[in-house]
Amino acid sequence: MSGVEVAMGSIALMLVLIYAGLHVAVSLILVSFLGVWVLRDNFDLAANMLVVAFKDSITDQLFGVVPLFVLMGLVVSISGMGRDTFDVAQQAFRRIRGGLGVATVAANAVFAAITGISIASAAVFTKVAVPEMRRRGYTRQFSVGVVAGSSVLGMLIPPSLLFILYGILTEQSVGSLFIAGVLPGLLLAVTYGVGIVAMAYLTPGFVGGQQAEAAPGADERLMGWGEIAAKLLPIAALVALVLGGIYGGLFTPTEAGGAGAAGALVIALVKRRLDWRAFWQVLVQTGHTTASICFLIIGASLYSRMLAFTGMPGWLGTTVLEAGLSADGVVLAMIAVMVLLGTILDSSSILLLVLPIAVPILNGLGVDLIWLGVIAILAVEIGLLTPPFGIAVYVIKSTLGAESDITLGHIFRGAAPFALMMVLVLALVFFFPAITTALL
């Protein structure tokens, strides 16, 4: 078999294994090992490549950023900052039709700037926002749909765990990726807000909540400026510490993760929201998440080496050039593949599967890899909201509990308009790359 045939066969085998239920990282490692063995007809060489990949993949200091940002996000999620942010946003948008939905988006946008994990946002605001929206007369599908849609802001507005992963895989500056994600993230949040208000007027049956908003603020105590400041000050301080440190050149991304994790711990202790039991649970969950991500990175590194052995990236690049496909055409094909894979895989796995094949081709075509990173994150995040996988949807359902009257169907239907709005923003970023590069 030729190298290209082995590469094609490895892709087919990997998809079969993943569909059969084998973990993505295990599939990557197994297929890569078999691919090198078949290519070189040497079991020892394939085994040695496994050892080298495990040793070299995650020994760089940059990988320390993963557990640090995960730890910060989990501490923030139990510190009550999500609740505080929502309370302030709820008061700010109380006079707007669909205002509670807009408040959820605004709170999620702020929360995203201190977590970087979509799943944490989905879990926190399912507990905070959904009961309040249901109490105010919003429909089931809208109440959970707005939480599902706005939770994806956690992976676009920096700091973002997916941007860190993309930077590691493509050897791009994580700090530059963070800056590139600011305007697209804000654009997505504004698009969500405008879309919610439009839906409240055009499709009131889908949104609900009109009766409660007829007399806004009648049944709630309004906070004073001092209380608002007390709720927002810790959030602003943490954002300034992490992002200000990175953009100001004081910290590397890894150092900023350490500073952010320490700052989040201090805030949680001052708020008396963190006891020993909760802290242990946070540490265990951080370990589980970090181990999963690092295992995926090792698998992706091994798979990239196997593809390099086959010569497939060079063959694909030559084929694309000879076919006359433009760089935009290849990017559109990558987007289509990522959105399709989003129906069955999580975001990290999609990046790890697609980037080793797509990036060498696009880099050869002169594509800006920072702009491509924003495109890739938007594409894979659409998959968080699409059936049958839709990991954000399942997190929301799990958080609601088995006794809830909200079904998976309600969540997917509620998230559908937000997935369409994400497609709109993706199109804007694709046609107007300056949205991502304006701050660089």
- What is the 3-state secondary structure of 208-241? ECHHHHCCCCCCCCCCCHHHHHHHHHHHHHHHHH
User: Does residue 198 register a pLDDT over 90?
Assistant: yes
Condensed to tens digits (0 to 9), the pLDDT of residues 323-374 reads 777 889 889 988 988 888 777 677 777 887 788 888 888 888 889 999 999 9
User: Does residue 168 register a pLDDT over 90?
Assistant: no
CA angle in degrees (0–180, nearest 5) for 350-4-34: 70
More confident residue, 65 or 239: 239
Of 174-178, 183-187, 209-213, 408-412, the least confident: 209-213
Buried b (16+ CB within 10 A) or exposed e, 102-118: bbbbbbbbbbbbbbbbb
Cβ neighbours for 217, distance < 8 A, ≥ 6 positions apart? 94, 95
Q: Confirm if 146 and 196 have CB atoms less than 8 A apart.
A: yes
User: Does residue 150 register a pLDDT over 70?
Assistant: yes
pLDDT at 404: 82
pLDDT at 216: 47
CA distances 218 to 116, 221, 317, Å, are 35, 8, 63
Query: Which pLDDT band holds residue 219 (cuts at 50, 70, 90)?
Result: low
Query: Which pLDDT band holds residue 62 (cuts at 50, 70, 90)?
Result: low
The ranges assigned to domains in the chain are 3-438
Helices 81-92 and 65-78 cross at an angle (nearest 10°) of 60
pLDDT at 1: 66
Mean pLDDT value of segment 180-202: 94
- The pTM (predicted TM-score) of the whole model is 0.81
Helix, strand, coil in percent for the chain, rounding step 5: 80, 0, 20
Q: How many residues does the chain have?
A: 440
For residue 97 the two structure tokens come to 């039709």
More confident residue, 242 or 414: 414
